[in-house]
Structure 1
Amino acid sequence: MASEGVTEPRGYRPLLPMVVSYIASGGSLVLGSAAQLVTFAILARWLGVHEFSVFVAITALANIAVHLCGLGAMECLVRRVARDRAMYPQMLGHNIILTTASGVALLLLGVVALPFFFTLSADPVKNFAAIALMLITNILLVRIIVLTEQIFIAHSDFASANKVVVGFAVARTVAAALACIAFSVSTVESWAVWQFVCHVLVAIACMRAIRGLGKPHYSIVREELPQGLYFSIPFILRALRQNADLLVLSLVTTAEIVSSYSVARRILESSYLSVDALNRLIYPGSARATAAGLHHAFQRVRRVLAAATLISLAAAVTVFALAPVLPHLFGKDYVSLVGFARSLCWAVVPLAAWSVAAEALGASGYHAARATVIGLGSIAGAGLAAWASWYAPPAGTFVSFYVIEVAMVIATWSVFLHFVRRDREQAALTFEAGRA
């Protein structure tokens, strides 16, 4: 107990610098979130229900694959470099090797399999090329851009990290506006080219931005391989869970319900960005605070939970209030969108609550425990979401969503508190042994 009091004073004063940083970057983060939503709205309106549903399906698969790309090496970079800046060249090389190897493997697998399921063009060669561009863009190029953001976070350069996020979001919005509004792009095949060029330009800018931080040292940090897998597997399973309901709904309901639900889900993800921004600010400091045990950051995590709850409630209220505006953005064909958005917006509160505990476990290096609770929750959640969506669509889908998120709150915080108690007990035993 004493050690905890020494390492982390009680009260909210220690959190003030992080609050100031969050407020300072708030405008940029809101701009980035708004830009993402506008991009989605432009594509939904100009591509139409059928083409948009194909775009959503391929993007969903790419979102699963992007978590496999790199095998979780980015988290290892943030954690290790936040504790010791001298590790940056080695961790950067570690990331480049794993991202390249896994990214190429995923790309080859995708270009072989996906043309059998998706037709973006009647010409087989053009269909292959369009799918390849979509995969390169949404797996390899996205990974490069996100890696740049994480590099800046590892160096506690949150201003530059926010510039990457906002710049990326604005670039995609500009590309969508030019393609769809100015050049009347209305197919996924044509949009794939525009999206690819946009991501290439952003990736080049990102690589130039990190040149001054140091050159990579190409080697594999072997002890971080299992940690990276433990970190990435929960995201992969969670991505599978998040798409189980969409898959079943596409089989048992209309295209309008599927499209409206996918838009409502994207709005939920955008509203969570305000909480994710807080987690990004907190993570490097939490990695340092937990180096000697998770119990040293217990009060810190409690304060982060309070802040995340308030932020998520504000985000949910905002979405609920602005929901009637959505048909004007996405188009009159999305008739269920207002009701779906209002039904789903409150899920950001339990999502924020359990993400705080999960981030704390990750920052402290307890990736096996973190992977277990999120992985098992995602597997069970995928089954529940699929069954509920089949049994009572779409009401069952919404009910299952809340049941899953509340269950995750209970599970993650139970695991977090278990390791806090264990680390505190081990510290007490070490202290007593030292006195003896």
Structure 2
Amino acid sequence: MASEGVSEPRGYKPFLPMVMSYVASGGSLVLSSAAQLLTFAILARFLGVDEFSVFVAVTAVASIAVHLCGLGAMECLVRRVARDRAIYPEMLGHNILLTAASGLALVLAGVVLLPFFFVLSADTLTNVAAIALMLVTNIVLVRIIVLVEQIFIAHSDFANANKVVVGFAVARTIAAALACLVFNVSTVASWAVWQFVCHVLVALACIRAISGLGKPRYSIVREELPQGLYFSIPFILRALRQNADLLVLSLVATAEIVSSYSVARRMLESSFLSVEALNRLIYPGSARITAAGLHHALQRVLRVLAAATGIGLAAALAVFLLAPVLPYLFGHDYVSLVAFVKDLCWVVVPLAIWSVAVEALGASGYHAERAAVMGLGSVVGAGLAAWASWYAPPVGTFVSFYVIEIAMVAAAWGVFLRLVKRDRARAALAFQPGVAHGG
């Protein structure tokens, strides 16, 4: 008897439309990445090493908090709407309520705590106001914009999702160019105002873009709360892990080292977008195929693994070859930048490999297992990265990066293959004569 559920197509011809979608999606993310890099370069050059290091530190805190904003509700929207679009109004309302409540709490907590650690202005009131603007911008408004992108993905409308990604990146670049090149902005406090206005305009445009998809029905989908937390907590812990080294380096290294390292990290994140383009295309289809068991998507995931590995290698090589050009873009004050980028760029390969496995776990609803892999890896990784950065900066930082990501490959794929085997065994048992009927 054939297994129930959506079957995985055989051969490669059924994937040709997906390849074309990846070209479009990947192209949009490449354009977005280039725009983000240009924005980062403009800010790095015009803010200077000292101001830029403060900007990086505050942004690092916001990058942790943004994963908590919404409590992981975006994932359940994509997963459930991809399977049944009739549930969209309820899932949209669920997202709006959780984003508003958690976003308000995070901003208030940040406004109370962060002024004790970061000084964006000598005037106390201006300092608090600038920090508040940065938190609202980089937590709440970013979450709203990303939510709109995910809504389009849930509806398999990748063209509009790509427009959101590119439009957002280009808008930030234009804002940075106007602020720094035209109006001579040179402090983080001044840039916070420009950044806020830019994000408000983009968020309003995004909200208008989804107005035709249906109005929200405001309610909390209680069964998705633990799933959302399982989904978001690993990202929070991973963000902590990714910023533990940066925070420790800020204590034991110079502002130039911290700034150059942050740029190298941004280059790594930009190169990973080429893999992320593939993962976001695969997710809705994987959610449908794995509804009856993870084993139904095994061949699909292995194909994605091969593609992601190749894409990761190509992205790493491109960054390695382009590294010598970076001082002309960011400025020659960042003397460690080229070496740091060349040392770190190859991390994208193991990162791509394990991301395929955890994306498959998420699409199939195995969020507890996914959270265990990413959470434990992030907790152990944060400790290792912090210790290595303290003990032997910055060489220890780079070594710890590779050790952590390679360990994540082993852990993620070990859990994935174990769950595939378990689902296959359960399916075989369910279709044995008499078993399905309790006989």
State the TM-score bracket (shorter-chain normalisation). Answer: over 0.9
| Fraction of identical pairs, as percent | 82
Matched with 2:418 is: 418
Matched with 2:33 is: 33
- Give the TM-score, by structure 1 length: 0.98
Aligned ranges for residues 4-403 of structure 1 at < 5 Å? Answer: 7-403=7-403
Structure 1 residues 80, 6: closer, same or farther in 2, change over 3 A?
A: closer
Any runs of at least 4 consecutive aligned residues in structure 1 with deviations exceeding 6 A, and if so which?
Answer: none
Distance 1:417 1:141 in 2: 38
The CA deviation string for residues 205-261 of structure 1, in whole angstroms up to 9 with x for no partner, is 000000000000000000000000000000000000001111111111111111111
The CA deviation string for residues 277-304 of structure 1, in whole angstroms up to 9 with x for no partner, is 1101000000000000000000000000
Q: CA deviation at 1:117?
A: 1.1
Distance 1:167 1:130 in 2: 25
Structure 1 residues 4, 273: closer, same or farther in 2, change over 3 A?
A: farther
Structure 1 residues 367, 328: closer, same or farther in 2, change over 3 A?
A: same
Distance 2:69 2:29 in 1: 25
The CA deviation string for residues 326-372 of structure 1, in whole angstroms up to 9 with x for no partner, is 00010001111101001100000000000000000000000000001
- Structure 1: gaps spanning 5 or more residues: none
Note if contact 2:6-2:289 (Cα within 8 Å) is conserved in structure 1: no
The CA deviation string for residues 388-407 of structure 1, in whole angstroms up to 9 with x for no partner, is 11111111111110000000
Distance 1:25 1:133 in 2: 31
Distance 1:333 1:360 in 2: 43
The CA deviation string for residues 78-124 of structure 1, in whole angstroms up to 9 with x for no partner, is 00100000010000000000000000000110111111111111111
Distance 1:364 1:80 in 2: 11
Letter in 2 for 1:411: A
Note if contact 2:245-2:385 (Cα within 8 Å) is conserved in structure 1: yes
Distance 2:360 2:188 in 1: 39
Matched with 2:406 is: 406
Distance 1:77 1:4 in 2: 24
Note if contact 2:32-2:169 (Cα within 8 Å) is conserved in structure 1: yes
Note if contact 2:230-2:368 (Cα within 8 Å) is conserved in structure 1: yes
Q: CA deviation at 1:4?
A: 9.1
Note if contact 2:295-2:421 (Cα within 8 Å) is conserved in structure 1: yes
Distance 1:263 1:25 in 2: 24
The 3-state SS of whatever aligns with 1:365 is coil
Distance 1:27 1:356 in 2: 20
The CA deviation string for residues 54-92 of structure 1, in whole angstroms up to 9 with x for no partner, is 100100000100000000000010001000000100000
Q: CA deviation at 1:6?
A: 8.4
Letter in 2 for 1:269: E
The 3-state SS of whatever aligns with 1:9 is coil
Distance 2:240 2:24 in 1: 35
Instruction: Report the more deviating stretch, 72-81 or 245-254.
Output: 245-254
The 3-state SS of whatever aligns with 2:291 is coil
Distance 2:409 2:150 in 1: 26
Distance 2:343 2:92 in 1: 42
Aligned pairs, number: 436
Letter in 1 for 2:246: L
- Give the TM-score, by structure 2 length: 0.97
How well do the aligned residues superpose, as a CA RMSD in angstroms?
1.3
